[in-house]
């Protein structure tokens, strides 16, 4: 599984021959918009954790370009289906075997309105089991006890956790989250994009390192292979 970071919570997963894009927010991200051309992004599926603009802004344009199927909670899926897009609705605790692997929509503690204020259901995260690798994409969330449910079913190879604080967990809570999910290999997301969530990279990495954990902070467009 190849994972490319495009800023905020935007991730491109290449699982076998299938391209899965998560939470596309590029044209509105000053850190990413000059580095990434959304017209060049490939997507067979677009997974949306919740409706906030910093997770959904470019979903329509990319789905139009690619014909990707939008996977999200029931309300977000309905929103895009009404606009003519192909969707796969899910809800919390449910999982589905897609062609690239199994996806479970798991709990997150956050909110989920669309930019116009309309209801975007409840926010979530995804546990993806594909190509013999298992990853957890937490989405925007507080630290919560429900994270302890994940390792009861899935041995994670990587977790993508928000670390920017203010709107989500910060570094200290993300370290506790990594204990809850029993995964010491963490890719940080949801930091630096706005003033509220700017972080000290070296301090964040050091805090994880001191707990015996590995925090990766990728450049925009940088990839890792699992």
What's the token pair of residue 179?
């204990």
User: Is residue 58 close enough to count as binding Mn ion by CB under 5 A?
Assistant: no
Site stretch for Mn ion (CB under 5 A), options 50-58, 122-130, 193-201, 212-220: 50-58
Burial of residue 33 (number of CB atoms within 10 Å: 0-12, 13-18, 19+): middle
Minimum separation from the CB atom of position 139 to Mn ion (A): 8
Report the candidate in 177, 137, 200, 147 with the shortest Cα–Cα distance to residue 10. 137
Distance of CA 13 to the CA centre of its chain: 10
Minimum separation from the CB atom of position 97 to Ni ion (A): 28
| Nearer CB in complex with Mn ion: 1/160 | 160
Distance of CA 3 to the CA centre of its chain: 11
Please tell me the distance from the alpha carbon of residue 23 to that of residue 207, in angstroms, as a whole number. Answer: 27
- Residues 158-197, one symbol each (x = binds Mn ion by CB under 5 A, - = not), give ----------------------------------------
Please tell me the distance from the alpha carbon of residue 58 to that of residue 60, in angstroms, as a whole number. Answer: 6
Q: Which of 23, 129, 140, 173 binds Mn ion (CB under 5 A)?
A: 140
Minimum separation from the CB atom of position 118 to Ni ion (A): 15
Radius of gyration for the alpha carbons in the chain, expressed in angstroms and rounded = 16
Minimum separation from the CB atom of position 225 to Ni ion (A): 28
| Nearer CB in complex with Mn ion: 25/98 | 25
Minimum separation from the CB atom of position 104 to Ni ion (A): 20
Distance of CA 194 to the CA centre of its chain: 17
Site residues (CB under 5 A) for Ni ion?
A: 52, 140
Positions in the binding site for Mn ion (CB under 5 A): 52, 54, 140
């Amino acid at each position: 599984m190849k994972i490319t970071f495009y800023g905020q919570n935007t991730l491109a997963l290449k699982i076998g021959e299938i391209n899965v894009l998560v939470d596309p927010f590029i044209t509105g991200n000053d850190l990413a918009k000059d580095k990434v051309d959304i017209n060049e992004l490939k997507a067979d599926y677009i997974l949306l954790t919740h409706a906030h603009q910093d997770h959904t802004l470019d979903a329509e344009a990319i789905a139009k370009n690619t014909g990707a199927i939008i996977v999200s909670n029931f309300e977000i899926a309905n929103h895009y289906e009404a606009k003519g897009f192909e969707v796969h609705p899910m809800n919390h605790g449910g999982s589905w075997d897609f062609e690239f692997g199994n996806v479970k929509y798991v709990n997150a503690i956050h909110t989920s309105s669309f930019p116009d204020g309309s209801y975007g259901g409840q926010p979530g995260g995804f546990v993806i089991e594909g190509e013999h690798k298992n990853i957890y994409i937490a989405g925007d969330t507080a630290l919560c006890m429900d994270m302890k449910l994940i390792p009861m079913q899935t041995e994670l190879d990587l977790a993508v956790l928000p670390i920017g604080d203010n709107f989500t967990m910060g570094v200290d809570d993300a370290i506790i989250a990594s204990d809850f999910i029993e995964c010491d290999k963490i890719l940080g997301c949801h930091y630096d994009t706005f003033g509220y969530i700017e972080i000290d990279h070296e301090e964040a990495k050091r805090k994880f390192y001191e707990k015996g954990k590995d925090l990766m902070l990728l450049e925009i467009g940088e990839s890792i292979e699992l």
